[in-house]
Amino acid sequence: MIESPTVLKQKIFIDGQAGTTGLRIRQWIQDRRDIELLTLADSDRRSVTARQQAISLSDLTILCLPDEAAGEAAIWAQDAGTRVLDASTCHRIADDWTYGLPELCGDQRARIVSADRVSNPGCYSSTFILLLRPLIDAGLMPTNVPISIHALSGYSGGGKSMIERWENPENELATISYEAPYALERVHKHIPEMQRYTGLTVQPQFLPAVGSFHSGMRVQVPLHESIFYNKPDGEEIWSLLDQRYKGERFVHVAPFAGFEAASEIELDPTQFNGSNQLQIHIYPNPAGHILLVGLLDNLGKGASGVAVQCLNLMLGLPEHEGLPG
């Protein structure tokens, strides 16, 4: 009788697996044969001793924690010699951490593969970066221009507190027929990484909003014709982005439709829910302006999906392993 070869399982611990990001990561990796998922009893989830032990036993720990707690746990991981992937905002622009966006640029995957500490990107910010950075890299626009971003997310993007607020019938939010802007009174936590990884020297104006749906996201970046060098048309910009992401499994550029009007459902922010896909659209205007749009699942490609991509790369496994299309 021929025995099946033994599969070497690498140990993974998700610190904070009960949150929205942690739950989705666990869902996508828990049945894999190449991974052993270390878990804590409910009674031990807040135990420093139990968490430190799990971190030290793991080959890689994923932090799905608030920023302060993530910073503390990252120190534990470093002391234990454990590689770490942090899904919080804590280390996204830290010089000694690697930004976990594989599609960022040509050598980013290699950096993630060799990194011991990787910071998972934000949902809004990763989409904005993938929309805008190719234009800056190609020299189509300067970095010292003000950019506006309008984005719409499902309420799961705000974590447990926002989910509870929107799903509480007493608040009467679940049935509102309009988007609700938020974070207008502060500098959004995604702004620093938006600047850092596009190279913008002027802080963009970010206008996020929440809709009465659980998950899904649309990020819109309008670009005025006056900011461009040599006035590229919409098809040139489409071609640039199409070539940049050609061959990518999880980032796709929709066909160019010129000045054809978009249908009412074309930019539905929920259409990629449950997937790890980002779809990019380019809309030219006869006045020379350009609108860039990204559609994704804020819990998929915006959070847990890209975390699994990074997990796979750090473990030397196929990047798409365990992920839906």
Q: Which amino acid would we find at residue 241?
A: L
Using DSSP's 3-state secondary structure scheme, residue 282 falls into strand
Q: Is 229 exposed, middle or buried (0-12, 13-18, 19+ CB in 10 A)?
A: exposed
Helices (H) and strands (E) in the chain, counts: 9, 13
Neighbours of 246 (CB within 10 A): 10
Q: Is 105 a catalytic residue?
A: no
Tell me how far the alpha carbon of residue 294 is from its chain's centroid: 12
Catalytic residue among 64, 90, 105, 123: 123
Q: Name 35's Cβ contacts closer than 8 Å, sequence gap at least 6.
A: 9, 10, 11, 12, 29, 315
CB 290 within 8 A of CB 282: yes
Closest CA to 296 of 125, 147, 164, 134: 125
Catalytically active residues are: 123
